[in-house]
Homo-oligomer: A and B are copies of this chain.
Amino acid sequence: MTDKIWFMSDYMEGACPEILEALAKTNLEKTPGYGTDAYCDAAREKIRAACGCPGAEVHFLVGGTQTNATVIDSLLKSYQGVIAAETGHISVHESGAIELGGHKVLTLPQKCGKLSAADIKARLKAYEDDENRDHTVMPGMVYISHPTEYGTLYTLKELEEIAEVCRIYGIYLYVDGARLAYALACPENDVTLADLARLTDAFYIGGTKCGALFGEAVVFPKAGLVPHFLSIIKQHGAMLAKGRLLGVQFGTLFADGLYEKLGENGIRNAARLRSALKEKHIPLLIDSPTNQIFPVLSDEAIKKLSQNVNFEFWEKVDAEHSVIRFVTSWATADAAVEALIALL
């Protein structure tokens, strides 16, 4: 497989060199466990600063599904469900982790992977108007991802509208930022970390897909929203014994603009690839501005391409065409993109 060029996902390599170096440098230091060390504290402080939210509560977990299950379970009452797009990661690709915690995922139709404030509002109103609502699952949260599973972005206005609907109906807004670096680095994006801190009840800043070995940073803009969150993390098997590994990584990511730089590499390479696809008149399933690209190709072309390129099959379009997915990342070499373009 090593001879192929890889566009399969953004978690194919280890970590960015800065992180590896920081881990090596601190390796034999002794620190207390479970995130109570000074590296974690320093990383939290940097994240608070980056979010312009000095009062935020920050926790470090290991992976995305784990983070979603833990945060969602921590915010919902036992009888509440979470509203998500039909294509949301929690709706389809977490093996029922949300349901394991006892919560229903209440799916809504999506457009390019995004929910609309209007649809959310209509769903919440329908619940309130339903005389038999005690017999249904009460929505307690809206889950969106930014970028979405289709690489698309919410505009600030859209996010504000969704936040406003949540506020009016008294439910939580939670943003899955597994690929947040690629949003923050994207010229089309107008949602900042400070906006997320201002508009959501919780969000997470993805490390795994954005240059860390692993790790996700959960931000509760209002500290204390979830009492005993450490017990909840532990109960969900999401507490890393050597918690400082996460502190060291996020401390590195949030120093010297590294997080943005890592995102930029993915975005720049995606833009180059997208532009080449357009030049070659290869249609895209969706107009996504971030690091996921969904070209529609003939099955024959896909077969041929797969001899030299690793990518993900997405879905059939018709008898002879399918969608595939290319993902660029912090680790994508410019040369690999040029090689792929040459092959297309």
Contact = CB atoms under 8 A, between A and B. Distances in A.
Given A65-B237, A134-B230, A8 B32 contact: yes
A319 interface: no
Contacts of A13: 27-30, 242
A112 interface: no
- Which bracket fits the contact residues of A? 35 or more
Contact of A237 (B228, B232, B237, B241): B237
B96 A102 contact: yes
Interface in A296-316: 310, 313
B104 A79 contact: no
Interface stretch (A183-191, A208-216, A251-259, A269-277): A208-216
The residue among A14, A20, A133, A138 with the most chain B CB atoms within 10 A of its own CB is A14
Interface stretch (A66-74, A145-153, A193-201): A66-74
Interface stretch (A45-53, A87-95, A280-288): A87-95
B65 A239 contact: yes
Copies in the complex: 4
B93 A135 contact: yes
Interface in A8-45: 8-9, 11-15, 17, 20, 23-24, 26-34
Contacts of A12: 30-33
A81 B96 contact: yes
A64 B232 CA distance: 16
A231 B310 CA distance: 24
Chain A binding surface SS class = loop
The residue among A74, A105, A135, A237 with the most chain B CB atoms within 10 A of its own CB is A237
A94 B23 contact: no
Interface in A70-126: 70, 73-74, 77-79, 81, 92-97, 99-105
A96 B228 contact: no
A241 B102 contact: no
A341 interface: no
A32 B4 CA distance: 12
B95 A235 contact: yes
A308 to B, nearest CB: 14
Contacts of A93: 132, 135-136
13 contacts: A20-B23, A20-B24, A24-B24, A62-B62, A78-B78, A78-B235, A79-B231, A81-B99, A96-B103, A104-B104, A104-B105, A134-B234, A208-B241
What are the nearest 9 A-B pairs in CB distance?
A66-B237, A14-B27, A95-B234, A134-B230, A95-B235, A12-B30, A11-B241, A96-B137, A79-B231
Given A78-B235, A96-B102, A138-B231, 5 more contacts: A1-B32, A65-B234, A78-B100, A133-B231, A208-B242
